[in-house]
Structure 1
Amino acid sequence: MRNEMLNVTDEIKQAISLLRRHLDWDQAVRRLDWLNNKAEDPNLWNDATEAQKLMRERQQLDDSINGVKALEQQLNDNIELIEMGEDEGDEAIIKDAEDALRALRAEANRRQVEAMLSGEADSNDTYVEVHSGAGGTESQDWANILLRMYTRWAERQGFKVEILEMHDGEEAGIKSATILVKGHNAFGWLKTESGVHRLVRISPYDSNARRHTSFSSIWVYPVVDDSINIEVNESDCRIDTYRASGAGGQHVNTTDSAVRITHIPTGIVVSCQQERSQHKNRAKAWDMLRARMYEAELMKREAAANAEAASKSDIGWGHQIRSYVLQPYQLVKDTRTGVESTAPGDVLDGDLNAFMEAALAHRISGKADVAGADLD
C-alpha cells in the first residue's frame, strides 16, 4: 500500500480508537442492550417524560455505536479492495478504494468533532437569527447571502429548515430573519457561529464598481424541549402584533398575524410570522423566548462560551468572527482559529464544516488543533 494511504488508514484507526474510548465502548454496548430491553417494556410509557428521555439516549447511543462499526467495516472493506487491486494490477479498483478511504477519513474526523458535542442542549434543534448591520442595501444583501449559506449548510447535513420570520430590505436582501434548523446536534454544530461576519467585495449596487465592506450578525440559540423548565412571567413581557412581510403567499399581509414578544427585564425580543394564524405564531414566539432565556442561562454557566459577547457587540469593525473577502483576492478566514479557505464560493454555498470543527475544538480545548489549515 502506498505511503499516503498508510497514513490515511492510520488516521482513521486513531479516530476509531478515540471514538471507542470516548464512548467507553463496553459500558456503552451494555447500556444500549439495557435500553433496547427497556423499550420493549409495556409499562415504560406510564411516565412519558422519562420514556422520552430514555428513547433519546437510546437513539444517540445506537447512532454512535453503529457509526463506529460502520467506520470499521468500511475501513476493512477498502483495505481489502486495495490489496485485491494490487494483486490484480487493477489501478481503477485501487483509485476508487483510495478515494473512499480519503472520504472515510473526513467522516471519521467529523464524528470525532460530534463526540465533543456533549453539552446539555447540543443535541437539540436550534434557532438561527440573521441581522444586517449598518450600511443599508449592502449589509442587507449580505444578510440574505448568510441566510442562504446557513440554509445550504443545513440541507447538506440532512437537516430541515423552517423560516419563522423575515423582514425584507428596502431595495434588496433582508433586514433580519429567523430560521429553525431541525436535526440531531443542530445546536451543537451551529453554536460557534454566533457573532459578526464581514464581507469585502465589489458592490453590485455601486455604479462606480467600488469595493465595499459589509457586516451582518448571526445569533444561535437552542430549542428547549419539555424536559427543560424555563419560567417566563407573562407580566414581564410586552406582546405586539403586526402584519407579516416577505414571502408567504397572497394572504401574508392581510391580517395582523405576526407576533413580537419583548421580555422587558432582559430586553430579549423574539418574533414569528411563519403561520397565518396569530395563535400559532404566538405559541411559537413563546417557545423562542423560552429558548433565548435558556440559552442566556447556558452562556452564564459555560465559561468557555464567548459567542454572547461577540454577538452583542457592535455589528462593525473589530468584532467579526470571520471575514469573507471576494475582492481584491479570494479568501475566507476565521479570526478565532486562523482556519482559511481560498474558495469563498464553496463556503457561501454551505461548505462550513471545517470552520465549525475548528471553532468547536477551540472552544473546548482553548485552541484550534487545525489553526492555519488551508482549505482549498
Structure 2
Amino acid sequence: MKKTAIIPLRKDSKGIQGKNKKKILGRPLFSWVLTEAVFSDLDEIVVFTDDPEIIDFIHKEYYWTSKVKALLRSDDNATDTASTESAMVEFAGQINYDFDVLCLLQATSPLTTTADINAVLSKIETEKYDSALTVVNTHRFSWNADGTPQNYDVYNRPRRQDFEGLLIENGAVYATTKTAFVSSKNRVSGKIGLQQMPENTLIEIDSMTDWKIAEELLASRLKKSKKHQRIGYLVLDVDGVFTNGQVFFSAEGELAKAFDMRDGMGLEILRQNQLEVVVMTSENSPLVAQRMKKLQIENTFLGVKDKYAFLQHFVKEKNTSFNALAYIGDDVNDLANICAVGWSFAPSNATEIVKQNADYVLTKPSAEGAIREACEWIMKYNERY
C-alpha cells in the first residue's frame, strides 16, 4: 500500500508575509511537518508549491532521503481563492494517481508529530476507515449567535472533569484512500475516522500572535523530551563557535578565519575518551573543510541549512538519540538543536535568544576558549556515567 503525502504551499500569504519560508525556532515553517513526515510510515512526501525558492531548498536540504520530492503548483491553484481540494486534485493528476493513500499535511500546524501522522494512517490501514483526520478535544463551552448554548446546560454547568468536551478539527493531518478521493474529490469522505491530538495543537498559524505561541510550544516540547545520559557526541557549529563570527574577504572571496588552537586540543581529548565530534555548518567553506581535515574530524557537514532535520537523520544513521548529543551553537539557525539535544551550550558572545534557550552559557566567548571549556565540562559530566 503506497502512502503519499502532499504539503501544499503558496508563495504569497496575506496574514504573514512569506509565512511558509519564515523561520520559526530557527527553521522554515514548512520544515517542521516535513521532517516529521520523513520519519513516519509515509512512503513519499511531496511539497507542492508555486515558489521556486522552496523547490530549490528541498533539492539541496533533503538529498539524504529519497522520500521527499517537490513539484511545481500551477498559478491557478495558488491564489487566495483556490481551495486545498483543487490543489490536491491537480497534484493527484500530476502523479497519475500513483498512490493508495493520500495524506494531506498542513505547514501551518508545526506541532504535528511523526506519531500523529502514523496514527491517522493506521485508521485507514488497520481500522479500515475510508478517510481520517486529526481533532482536538476541547473543554470549552460553545454558543450560538442567538445567545443559546451549543454543548451544555447553563443551569447545570458541568465540572471540567465531568464534561466530555467538544471535538474540533485542528487542520493538521488528513488521509484518504484513493477510491474515496477519486469518488469525492475531497480530503475526507466515506467512513471517517478521528484521531485526537493534544489540546495545544488546536493552534494554526494565521497571525503573529499564533506564531509566537507556536514557537514557545515547540521549544517547550523539545526541552521536555530531554533526558540526561552519557554524552557520546559533541556537535558544533563553526562561525560564532570555532570562530568569532568574523571572516576576511578579498576580491577572490573568503580569505581567512581565526581558530583557537586550544579548542582543537580539547576536541582531541574528547576523541581519546570515545566521544565523536561532529561539525555542522550552513556555510560551504573550503577554509572550514581544510581546518576540520587538520583536526581529523571526519563527521564534517558543510552547507546544511536545516540543521535539525539533518541531525535527526544523523541520529538515526548512528542508532543513537538526541539525549546522547551535546551541541554548541550561537545563532537562530541553531535554536531547534539547542532545545532538543541532551545538553546544549552557548558561547558567552552568542545571540541573546540562543543564550536564553541553552542549557549552559559558557564563560568564554567563541574563538577564545568556549569549545575547550565545553569539552572540559563534558569530560567531568561523563565521569558519573
* Fold agreement, TM-score > 0.5: no
Q: What TM-score comes out, normalization by structure 2 length?
A: 0.24
Q: What TM-score comes out, normalization by structure 1 length?
A: 0.24
**Larger helix share, 1 or 2:** 1
